[in-house]
């Protein structure tokens, strides 16, 4: 049977190009559970997701008009791995798995690993940014969990495929966003070119260096999280405001300003465009993001509150 082919969206193509030259095109998620996740049901769940979302079981084909090509159903790539250790070892095992170089072009686009400790199960999900943004990864995790739940309740694969697949409209491009945002003439929605008014950030780097990602894990305790939430509310701000402030201040210490060097600093942030859709989803795992460029004026030695 001929392998199915799917359209590549402009954002897929952009992420492919970025991945060739500079960006780490892998999105990772780590989930914790009490010991008890079934290896068999988890692998079945992952394989069902590949059938419901065939883009995840595809490879990116570079061409004049690039496209996604689905792998043969007989392909038996390792998409659901398993390892055991004690609770203290799980975090290191998860980091090692995340660092393992996968083929993010040939696919499959998703890979999982269940790490079993003495009292904790850790599920690591790796998904290629070529086919999905961060919000798409969250949708994938929700889908995987829903399928696992149905299997654990005794539902058959055919029943699940029918429930999650039949009659569900899905799309991967941005055309519906323009439709629901009331934009009929896409060109008219573009902002006019404006002279850059603020410095961008630049990270010092050298070709062929930092091939292996460096990872650091930091945690907030429940008490710290509670204090942070209370302090944020007292400032009439949101947690996103606080994270953004910390992000700008951290970058200011170890990045290089790009000309023009101004007091105003600017950085690109991803915006989930699903917010403009009626059900806040496309029904498909995809890249559906925009970019916002907030500008903050920063002075030397200013306080966190001032920033």
Chain centre distance of CA 189: 26
- Tell whether the model's pLDDT for residue 263 goes beyond 90: no
Distance set, CA 102 to CA 76, 78, 178 (Å): 15, 11, 35
- What's the pLDDT at 259? 62
Judge whether residue 197 has pLDDT over 70.
no
Which of 7-11, 83-87, 171-175, 284-288 is the least confident region? 171-175
Given pLDDT bands bounded at 50, 70 and 90, which one contains residue 75? low
Question: What is the structure's pLDDT at 260?
Answer: 61
If you average pLDDT over each of 20-34, 120-134, 183-197, 291-305, which comes out highest?
120-134
| Residues 271, 294 contacting (CB under 8 angstroms) | no
The mean per-residue pLDDT over the stretch 160-167 comes to 84
Please determine, for residue 42, whether its predicted confidence score (pLDDT) is greater than 80: yes
What's the rounded mean pLDDT across residues 155-174? 86
Residue 257 is predicted with a pLDDT of: 64
What's the CATH number for 5-168?
Answer: 3.30.559.10
- Percent of the chain, pLDDT > 70? 87
Contacts of 215 (CB under 8 A, 6+ apart): 95, 98, 99
CB neighbourhood size of 33 (10 A): 11
| Higher per-residue pLDDT: 185 or 199 | 185
| The pLDDT value given to residue 182 | 80
Q: What is the pLDDT of residues 121-148, one digit of tens each?
A: 999 999 999 999 999 999 999 999 999 9
Report phi then psi at 88, rounded to 5.
-70, -25
Averaged pLDDT, 41-64: 94
Domain boundaries, the chain: 5-168, 179-184+196-206+216-297
List Cβ neighbours of 92 (8 Å cut-off, separation of 6 or more).
none
Low-confidence winner among 27-31, 185-189, 254-258 (lowest mean pLDDT): 254-258
Q: Which of 193-197, 232-236, 275-279 has the highest mean pLDDT?
A: 232-236
Average predicted confidence (pLDDT) for the chain: 86
């Amino acid at each position: 049977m001929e392998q199915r082919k799917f359209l590549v969206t402009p954002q897929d193509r952009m992420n492919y190009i970025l991945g060739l030259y500079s960006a780490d095109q892998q999105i990772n998620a780590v989930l914790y559970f009490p010991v008890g996740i079934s290896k068999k049901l988890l692998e079945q769940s992952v394989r069902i997701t590949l059938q419901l979302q065939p883009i995840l079981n595809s490879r990116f084909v570079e061409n004049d008009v690039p496209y996604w090509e689905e792998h043969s159903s007989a392909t038996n790539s390792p998409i659901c791995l398993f390892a055991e250790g004690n609770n203290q070892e799980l975090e290191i095992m998860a980091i090692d798995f995340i660092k393992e170089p996968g083929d993010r072009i040939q696919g499959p686009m998703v890979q999982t690993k269940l790490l079993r400790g003495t009292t904790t199960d850790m599920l690591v999900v790796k998904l290629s940014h070529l086919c999905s943004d961060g919000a798409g990864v969250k949708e994938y995790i929700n889908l995987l969990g829903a399928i696992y739940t149905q299997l654990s309740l005794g539902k058959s694969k055919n029943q699940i495929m029918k429930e999650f697949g039949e009659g569900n409209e899905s799309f991967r491009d941005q055309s519906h966003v323009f439709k629901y945002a009331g934009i009929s003439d896409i060109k008219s929605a573009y902002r006019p070119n404006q002279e850059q008014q603020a410095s961008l950030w630049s990270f010092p780097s050298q070709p062929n260096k930092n091939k292996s990602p460096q990872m650091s894990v930091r945690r907030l305790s429940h008490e710290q999280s509670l204090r942070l939430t209370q302090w944020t509310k007292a400032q009439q701000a949101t947690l996103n405001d606080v994270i953004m402030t910390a992000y700008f201040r951290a970058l200011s210490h170890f990045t290089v300003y790009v000309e023009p060097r101004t007091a105003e600093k600017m950085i690109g942030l991803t915006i989930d465009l699903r917010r403009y859709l009626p059900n806040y989803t496309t029904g498909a795992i995809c890249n559906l993001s925009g970019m916002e460029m907030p500008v903050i004026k920063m002075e030397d030695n200013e306080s966190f509150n001032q920033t």
